[in-house]
Each structure stands twice: as structure tokens, then as C-alpha cells.
Amino acid sequence: MSPSHAEAVHDAQRSRQWLAGEARGDGVDRDALRELGAAMAAVTAAAAEREPVAVASAPVGVDPPIAKPLPPELLRPLGSNAEMRWSAMAGQGHVVPTDRFFVRNHTVTPHLDPTAWRLRLFGDGLRGAPTRSAPVEVGLDELRRLPAEESTALVECAGNGRRFFAEQQGVAAPGVAWGLGGVGVARWRGVSLGTVLRRAGLRDDAVDVMPEGLDPDYVTGGVNLGRVRRPLPIAKALDDVLLAYEMNGEPLPADHGFPVRVVVPGWIGISSIKWVGPVEVSTTPLFSPWNTQFYRLFGPGHPTDGTALGAQPVKSAFELAWDARVPAGEELLLRGRSWSGNGPIERVEVDTGDGWRPADLVTADRGGPWQRWTVRWRPPAIGRHTLRARATDRTGAGQPDRAAPNTLAYLFDAVVAHPITAC
Ligand SMILES: Nc1nc2c(c(=O)[nH]1)N[C@H]1C(S)=C(S)[C@@H](COP(=O)(O)O)O[C@H]1N2
Ligand SMILES: [Mo]
């Protein structure tokens, strides 16, 4: 990713423009953010706490928030979301099978009719300035006839690892209590967003592209924030962004955006809008609550209007159940994966209780969106032990012992202490 469209750079620049009144953002209250930044962060945190709770038994006739089965050995439900069990990745290949890929839904998975579905491009960034009600339309068959591209890319929720802020650091962490399973790598196939934008008549002075989901409006804290949407700068939109209609060789499943989703490699998960319908292309910067109110860093050390939330930091996970039980006295091959939004992983170290030592990296993954690794370990005694893994990416970024706390509890990057019992 070139620095010119690194997410943090883009967001910081847009924030300045927005605060200076140069940009437009329906549903975004500029004054509230400028004058009441700290207070708003607190309100946002409180609202985040009121995320939908687990639907244990959905009423008859009401669709559950997630369409696919949630076998407990593959996925852990978290309200309208579900995280992948790391034990379900033990011995798997590079990609996450679709049946265990995490789901992050602000509301519920919609069931869209693919024959009625249209991508609807509009805005003054397209020639002739088509409007939202008279957009340039592209149907699914037409999209499938365009040159296809495939990309193996990682999607991770910015809140992945959030529960460790509370569990390891004793810091309040509002929002979905992800362990480390809010991440996955899949093989996505579709059409480059750039191809579609150019066919629709992209103008040279377009600056932002805002895809919008067709799932229900997101209502939080009593406020309807409208459809889930987040702008992308044109440079990123024309670089490696995909309008994907296949995941791991199958049509996109309902939960992951059927019939078409955006896949934005290297950027936080919210950029990868599922069930995309309208796409605004604008010659002025765009804003939505998903880049001003949520997915920003608020709290100590940050300005009152928050800090742009950039690429995902480095993380590592063992392909083991939490509190896994293993036989004592036998040599084990521990497996895990490490990843970073800033580029490939260079080095991984593991501590099984007697200091850090290098892990062996799986050669086939070198340079890929995540890196598998292994390390041998013979539990020294019956009883509880703690496993730790930490990685360093190509930029030299590693994993600290303590993650920097922030009000909305994003970007947990500290080493996770993974309990294991030898018996
Ligand atoms: N329309 C829409 N797109 C969305 C979301 C959503 O709720 N609605 N969630 C976003 C978030 S926060 C994440 S992390 C990813 C998760 O993608 P997945 O559910 O396919 O794993 O989708 C993003 N795209
Ligand atoms: Mo997310």
C-alpha cells in the first residue's frame, strides 16, 4: 500500500477538511464532533455497549441475524456477529473455509433477490452527474461478464481482540467482545472497482467513493444512522479494491454479502461493505458515521475529535482452543498464525514459559496476507501453562506487552496470554 492512500493519511486529511467545512457528510454532526468531541466519544461508547444481545431463541417467523449454521466447534455467537474458533483452524490451509469465516453484522443478514439487484453508481464524480434516483446501473450478469480478478485477502474487524483490553489490562472495553476470531482470509473473485467506475464515466476530479450496504439501517442510541457506508479515497478505489461475487470458489454466501460485496485489502473490515447497492462518486470529500463517530481512536492521548484509525496492527493466535487440554510428557507441534495490516510478517517468536524462541514459518505463506508458523513443545509438567506468541511485520512493527487503550477499544495488538492445561 503506498503512503498516499494509506488509510490513516487519508482519514487525517479528510478530518481536517471536514472540520474546516470543506466536506459533506449526511447524518454527520460536525459541530457536535468539533465542540463535544470527548463527550461524544463517551456517548458513542455507551451506545456501542448497547449492541444487540444474543438471540438465543428467535421468535417464529423472524430471521436470525446470521443465516449460516453456527456449530459451536466452528463459531462463537456474539449477538448479531460470530467469531471464528481458532481451534477450528488447526491444520487448515491458508484460507479460512467459509463455514467458519467470522460474521460481523451491524443489524441482520438481508436476503436479496439477485435478479432484481443492481449496482447503482451516482454522483458528480461521474460524467453527466447521475443522481441517486437515476443512477448508472449494473446488473449481476453484466458484472460477471466483465474481466474477473481473484485476490486472496484478509478481512479483520477493527475491534478484533477487544475482550483482552478488559481481561488482560483491566480497561473497560465497550462493544462486541471479540476474542482473536474476528479475522479471516478468503479467496475473493470479482471485478475490480476501478473497471466498473471507469465504465460508468469516472471523472478526473473525483476524490471519494462511498459504497453503501443494502442491509437495514443501523440504529444506535435511539439515532438512525442510515445504511452502513464508509468512503474510500479514489486512489485506493482504483488500486486493488474488488467488487466480489465469489468467496472460496462459490457464489458469495448471504452472510458475507450476496450477491456482491466490496473487498478492500489491507484496510479495516468496515471498509469492505457487504450487500453493496448504491455507490456515490464525488468530487468533494465524503463522510459517514463510520469514519467520524465509529472506527476512530478517542480517549487519552487523542484529540477531542479523535484520531484516524489506520491499518490493522500486528496480531498472533494459536490454532488452539482457549484453555485447551493436551497430554503431558509428549512432544506437541504447536501451530498458529500472525498477520498485520501493514504488510507481510517477517518473524514470529513463541514463549512457552522459558523465554522467547523463534517459530518456524510456513514457506508457502511468505508474503501472503497472513503467516502460518509452528513450534515444538513438550509440556514440562502436569498442570496449567501459558503460551505466548508475537510477530514482527515488514515495517518493523511488533507486538507490545500492553496495547494502548482507547475509548472504543480498537486495535488491540498486545501479546495474548493463552492458557493451556497439560494432563
Ligand atoms: N453492509 C454492511 N457491510 C459491512 C458490515 C455491515 O454490518 N453491513 N460490517 C462491516 C464490518 S464492521 C466488518 S469487520 C466486515 C465483516 O465481514 P464478514 O461479515 O464477511 O466477515 O464487513 C463490513 N461490511
Ligand atoms: Mo468490523
pLDDT of amino acid 24? 54
Give the domain 63-288 fold.
Sulfite Oxidase; Chain A, domain 2 (3.90.420)
CB atoms within 10 A of CB 251: 13
Do the beta carbons of residue 52 and residue 176 sit within 8 Å? Answer: no
Confidence of residue 386 (pLDDT cuts 50, 70, 90): very high
254 alpha carbon, closest ligand: 1
Q: Is 412 in the pocket of ligand 1 (CB under 6 A)?
A: no
The reply to whether ligand 1 has any atom less than 6 angstroms from the CB of 105 is yes
Q: Is the CB of 272 under 6 A from ligand 1?
A: yes
Does residue 46 register a pLDDT over 50?
Answer: no
Based on the number of CB atoms within 10 Å of its own CB, is 141 exposed (0-12), middle (13-18) or buried (19 or more)? exposed
Q: Give the DSSP letter of residue 294.
A: S
DSSP-derived secondary structure letter, 108: -
Q: Which of 7, 109, 274 to mutate to test the pocket of ligand 1 (most atoms within 8 A of CB)?
A: 274
Q: For ligand 1, say whether the CB of 68 is within 6 Å of any of its atoms.
A: no
Instruction: Work out the number of other CB atoms within 10 angstroms of the CB of residue 142.
Output: 14
pLDDT > 70 in the chain, percent: 85
- CATH 3.90.420.10 in the chain, residue ranges: 63-288
Q: What is the pLDDT of residues 208-239, one digit of tens each?
A: 999 999 999 999 999 999 999 999 999 999 99
Mean pLDDT, rounded, for 227-253: 96
Q: How far is CA 31 from CA 19, 20, 34, 195, 244, in A?
A: 8, 11, 5, 38, 37
Phi/psi region, residue 270 (left: phi>0; alpha: psi -120 to 50; beta: rest), is: alpha
Residue to mutate (ligand 1; options 267, 272, 309, 312; most atoms within 8 A of CB): 272
Query: Where does CATH 2.60.40.650 sit in the chain?
Result: 315-422
Summarize pLDDT for 86-119 with one digit per residue, the tens: 999 998 999 999 999 999 999 999 999 999 999 9
Q: At residue 45, what are phi and psi to the nearest 5 degrees?
A: -65, -40
pLDDT value of residue 58: 44
Mean pLDDT of 375-388: 96
Architecture of domain 315-422 in CATH? Sandwich (2.60)
pLDDT band at 309 (very low <50, low <70, confident <90, very high): confident
User: pLDDT tens, 171-215?
Assistant: 989 999 999 999 999 999 999 999 999 999 999 999 999 999 999
Report whether pLDDT(41) > 80: no
> Does ligand 1 lie within 6 Å of residue 348's CB atom?
no
Nearest of 63, 161, 55 to residue 411 by alpha carbon: 161
